[in-house]
């Protein structure tokens, strides 16, 4: 679009030029001119002396001075005329539009429109794929709900998994501290000596509980055959939780008895004897606390996603697809609007500049014609005043004579000698048709640019429904 900016700059560069005055010429006053040349006194003096003689055809010295004064005045008027004509020529030249500018503007405008149309087509292709993805996932979501009898509710899951993860970390820290404290009572090295074993055993206990809640607990909500495997998983979790924490409690007993030196064989041997084989109350408390922490971790895993397996995952995928589509649509719309608005601003500036120049050119052409007519009227007025001043001289001279006056005193005074012809320069090309053609082209580009942003294809009703169902607010 640079051609329009360049054109605007070219048209605006000399806006300081102004239209000259339409009546720049001085209006001659015969009385003032006669007074300045002392015509009446000199006429009486010449008449008293009988000058010029009755037979003389040549003008007197005073007549020559009168004519010379008017020729000088006319010369000043001619200079004023030429200066003003030069000013008009500068305005007309400045306000002209070259055919090359018109051609370039049309070519560049067509390229700009084509470029925006290509951007629109490319954007539509990308949006089509995203829209199909969004519709496909929405269809998959609805089919999943129907097959699993979930039509009566939407999925429920935390907006951020950070709370669940943080809860699991707090459980791990708390159980590690408690376990470490219990193990420290049987270790020569105190809390430091029992902390490593406490971390490993706590992590194992909580991990087992968390994943049991995430998969086995949630699996029992299935309506299909896999729910029975989930019940088996729950049963295994119950048994596994008890056995794991019994192992930890027996480990703690042996840890205290053997000063931190425990073999897995000895732990398994003691586990066969059951809970009754625990020697210390702290070990029994450790068993109960371990089961409670495991249960808490299982509840955290159960709440980690919607209680129906895969329901939350499918919902998140369709929401992300809808969000990607909405963001892409908004981005492409903003990009097209930016390019469109930039083009509209440049074209509008160029159109305003050319309109201003067209008005200036019209005023200059009319002003130039009026100036020429004013000069012709001024020349006629100079001849009239010249004749009036000569008549004053003749009449005053005739009244002061005692001898007859020249016969020419009784005729019409002569007009001024012919002046140098002022040739008008032709009006510079680039006005009229060129300006009108450029204005029409710019207005056409302006209308077409305003239509470009509507080129993005979308089914507003269907897309709006999908975005609404997916929880994405449309900004279209």
Crossing angle of helices 190-211 and 162-184, rounded to 10°:
140
The whole-number pLDDT of residue 428 equals 56
Above 70 in pLDDT, residue 433? no
Name the average pLDDT for the chain. Answer: 81
Report for 47-61, 176-190, 244-258, 436-450: range of highest mean pLDDT: 47-61
User: Which alpha helices (DSSP H) does 426-473 contain, by range?
Assistant: 433-452, 460-469
Above 50 in pLDDT, residue 412? yes
The pLDDT confidence band at residue 432, using thresholds 50, 70 and 90, is low
Tens-place pLDDT, residues 305-329: 999 999 999 999 999 999 999 999 8
The whole-number pLDDT of residue 351 equals 72
Above 60 in pLDDT, residue 124? yes
Average pLDDT for 111-126:
83
Crossing angle of helices 39-48 and 61-94, rounded to 10°:
150
Cis before 466? omega within 30 = no
Tens-place pLDDT, residues 2-28: 555 655 565 555 445 566 666 788 778
Threshold 0.85, pTM exceeds: no
| DSSP, res 428 | P
Residues composing the chain? 476
User: Could you please report the per-residue DSSP string of 38-85?
Assistant: THHHHHHHHHHTT-S-TT--S--HHHHHHHHHHHHHHHHHHHHHHHHH
| DSSP, res 453 | G
Q: Is 136 helix (H, G, I), strand (E, B) or coil?
A: helix
Above 80 in pLDDT, residue 291? yes
Instruction: Tell me the residue ranges of DSSP E strands in 307-361.
Output: none
Residue 434: both structure tokens together: 């060129």
The whole-number pLDDT of residue 299 equals 96
Which position has the higher pLDDT, 456 or 178? 178
* Cα four-point dihedral sign 321, 324, 325, 327: positive
Above 90 in pLDDT, residue 1? no
Residue 53: both structure tokens together: 């003689």
Above 50 in pLDDT, residue 430? no
Residue 375: both structure tokens together: 């000069």
Which one, of 201, 235, 205, lies nearest residue 217 by Cα? 235
Crossing angle of helices 433-452 and 311-400, rounded to 10°:
160
Residues 6+ apart with CB under 8 A from 415: 383, 386, 387
Average pLDDT for 345-354:
74
Residues 6+ apart with CB under 8 A from 303: 158, 164, 213
* Cα four-point dihedral sign 441, 446, 449, 454: negative
The whole-number pLDDT of residue 170 equals 94
Alpha carbon 344 to chain centroid distance? 11
The whole-number pLDDT of residue 367 equals 86
Which position has the higher pLDDT, 425 or 135? 135
Average pLDDT for 127-132:
91
Give the whole-angstrom CA distance, residue 416 versus residue 414.
7
Q: Measure Cα distances from 420 to 77, 342, 416 in Å.
A: 12, 55, 12
**Buried residues in 235-254 as b, exposed as e (16+ CB within 10 A):** eebeeebeebbbbbbbbbbb
Give the whole-angstrom CA distance, residue 130 versus residue 137.
11
The answer to whether the beta carbons of residues 120 and 455 sit under 8 Å apart is yes
Task: State the DSSP H helix or E strand holding residue 301, giving kind and residue range, or none if neither.
Answer: helix 281-302
Q: Report the first-to-last Cα separation within the chain, whole angstroms.
A: 27
The whole-number pLDDT of residue 137 equals 94
Above 70 in pLDDT, residue 375? yes
Tens-place pLDDT, residues 173-223: 998 888 877 766 655 554 555 677 788 889 999 999 999 999 999 999 998
Kindly report the number of other CB atoms within 10 A of residue 234's CB atom.
18
Above 90 in pLDDT, residue 334? no
């Amino acid at each position: 679009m640079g051609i329009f900016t360049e054109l605007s700059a070219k048209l605006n560069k000399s806006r300081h030029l102004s239209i000259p005055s339409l009546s720049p010429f001085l209006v001659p006053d015969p009385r003032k001119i006669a007074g300045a040349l002392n015509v009446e006194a000199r006429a009486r003096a010449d008449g008293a002396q009988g000058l010029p003689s009755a037979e003389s055809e040549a003008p007197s010295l005073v007549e020559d001075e009168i004519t010379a004064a008017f020729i000088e005045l006319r010369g000043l008027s001619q200079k004023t005329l030429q200066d003003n004509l030069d000013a008009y020529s500068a305005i007309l030249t400045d306000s002209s539009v070259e055919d090359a500018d018109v051609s370039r503007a049309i070519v560049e405008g067509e390229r700009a429109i084509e470029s925006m149309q290509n951007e629109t087509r490319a954007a539509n292709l990308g949006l089509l794929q995203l829209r199909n993805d969004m519709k496909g996932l929405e269809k998959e979501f609805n089919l999943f709900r129907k097959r699993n009898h979930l039509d009566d509710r939407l999925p429920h899951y935390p907006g951020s998994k950070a709370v669940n993860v943080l809860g699991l970390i707090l459980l791990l820290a708390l159980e590690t501290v408690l376990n470490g404290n219990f193990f420290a009572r049987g270790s020569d090295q105190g809390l430091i000596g029992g902390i490593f074993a406490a971390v490993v055993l706590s992590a194992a206990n909580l991990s087992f509980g968390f994943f049991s809640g995430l998969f086995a607990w949630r699996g029992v909500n299935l309506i299909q055959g896999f729910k029975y495997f989930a019940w088996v998983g729950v049963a295994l979790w119950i048994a596994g939780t008890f056995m794991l924490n019994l192992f930890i409690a027996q480990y703690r007993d042996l840890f205290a008895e053997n000063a931190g030196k425990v073999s897995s064989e000895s732990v398994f041997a003691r586990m066969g004897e059951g809970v009754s084989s625990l020697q210390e109350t702290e070990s029994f408390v450790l068993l109960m606390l371990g089961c409670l922490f495991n249960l808490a971790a299982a509840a955290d895993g159960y709440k980690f996603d919607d209680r129906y397996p895969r329901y939350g995952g499918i919902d998140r995928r369709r929401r992300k697809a809808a969000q990607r589509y909405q963001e892409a649509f908004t981005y492409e719309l903003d990009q097209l609007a930016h390019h469109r608005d930039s083009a509209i601003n440049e074209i509008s500036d160029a159109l305003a500049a050319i309109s201003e120049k067209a008005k200036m050119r019209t005023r200059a052409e009319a002003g130039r014609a009026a100036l020429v007519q004013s000069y012709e009227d001024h020349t006629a007025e100079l001849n009239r005043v010249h004749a009036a001043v000569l008549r004053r001289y003749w009449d005053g001279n005739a009244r002061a004579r005692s001898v007859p006056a020249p016969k020419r005193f009784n005729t019409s005074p002569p007009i001024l000698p012919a002046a140098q012809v002022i040739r008008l320069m032709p009006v510079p090309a680039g006005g009229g048709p060129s300006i009108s053609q450029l204005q029409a082209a710019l207005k056409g580009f302006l209308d077409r640019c305003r239509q470009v942003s509507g080129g993005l294809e979308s089914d507003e009703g269907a897309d709006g429904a999908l975005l609404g169902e997916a929880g994405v607010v449309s900004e279209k």
